[in-house]
Amino acid sequence: MGDWRVSGFTEVMELGRGGQGRVVLARHATAGTPVAIKYVAAADREPLRHEARMLGTVDSPHVARLYRLVESDEGVALVMEAVEGVTLREVLARHGELAPEAALAVLKGSLLGLAAAHAVGVVHRDYKPSNVMVPADGRSKLIDFGVAVAAGAASASGTPAYMAPEQWRGEAVSPATDVYAATCVFFECVTGRRPFAGAGGHLSEEPPAEDVAEPLRPLVAAGLAKDAAGRPVSASAFVGELERVAGEAYGDGWEDRGVRVLAGAAVALASLFPLAAAGLGAGGAVAGGGAVAGGGAAGAAG
C-alpha cells in the first residue's frame, strides 16, 4: 500500500493500523468535510469491494454512509461518512446498564438501520455494541458492513456473543438473524450482561426474559426465539412492536427522553471524539478507540 492516498483529501490523523491496512480521519481539500478513510493493500481488495457492495445499497439516517470506493494499483480505500461520537460498547463500559428508555431508543435506531439494509436484501450479520455509534445527539448509527451478506446466504460468521442459532449451525441467514443480535445487545443494555455465555446457550437455553423489567419481557422472548420463524418477521415489524410496548410502559415522550440520556452518555465521553480532538467541526465518522463508520481500526486493519 505504501504512501498511497486518496486524492482530494487531507489526512488529519491516523485512527488505527494493522496487518492489512489502516484507518484515518481526513478532510475534503475543498469543502472541508471530515470523512473516515479505510485503506487496505491492493492484494486485499476483495473484502473491501464486498463491503462497498453491501453498504453502498443502504440509505438510512441510522446507517453511516459510504461515499465511494477508490481503487488503484497501490491500494484500495473506502471513503465513509464520519460520526462524531463513541461506540455503544464504550458507553456501556463507562456507564454500565442503561435505563429502559435509553436502551429502547438504541434498539429502535438500530432496527431502523437494519430495516434499511434488509429492504435491499442485505443482512448485516455482525450487529454488536462496537458496531453501533452513539453521536452527540444521541441518535444511534449502525456501522461496519464488512461481513454483511445477501439474505439467504449460509454463514457461520459473526461475533459469538451475538450470533443467532442458525449462524452457529452454518445455515442461511435472514433479517431475523439481525433481529436476534439486536435483541442480545438490547438485553445487555438493560442488564449489564450478555444473555448467553456460549454456543450452548444460544442453541438450547431459553431466552432469559425474566431477567428484564416485566414490560420488556415480550420483546426479549420474541427477539431471542431459537427458531428464526418465531422471531419478528422483519426489523420493521419489530420496531412496531417495540413502539407499542414502550408507549404502554413508559408513556408519550419515551423516545425523546431515551435519546437525551444517550446524548448525555456520549457527551460525557467527549474526550474520545476524534473530530473535536483534531479541531474539526461536527459532522463526521469516527468513534473513540479508533472505531469508524466503516468498521473498527482493528477489523479494517487486520
Positions marked catalytic: 126
Residue 116 and residue 57 in contact, taking contact as beta carbons nearer than 8 Å: no
Q: 158: which DSSP letter?
A: S
What is the 3-class SS of 58-73, one letter each residue?
Answer: CCCCCECCEEEEEECC
Q: 9: which DSSP letter?
A: E
Nearest to 37, CA basis, from 60, 68, 63 = 68
Nearest to 274, CA basis, from 296, 291, 295 = 291
Residue 110 and residue 134 in contact, taking contact as beta carbons nearer than 8 Å: no
Q: 24: which DSSP letter?
A: E
Query: Residues 6 or more apart from 265 whose CB is under 8 A from it?
Result: 91, 94, 95, 98, 102, 134, 138
For residues 31, 9, 139 and 209, what is the CA-based torsion angle, rounded to 10 degrees?
Answer: 170
Q: 53: which DSSP letter?
A: H
Query: Residues 6 or more apart from 193 whose CB is under 8 A from it?
Result: none
Instruction: Measure the CA–CA gap between 63 and 248, rounded to whole angstroms.
Output: 28
Alpha helical stretches, state H, 31-153: 45-55, 88-95, 100-119
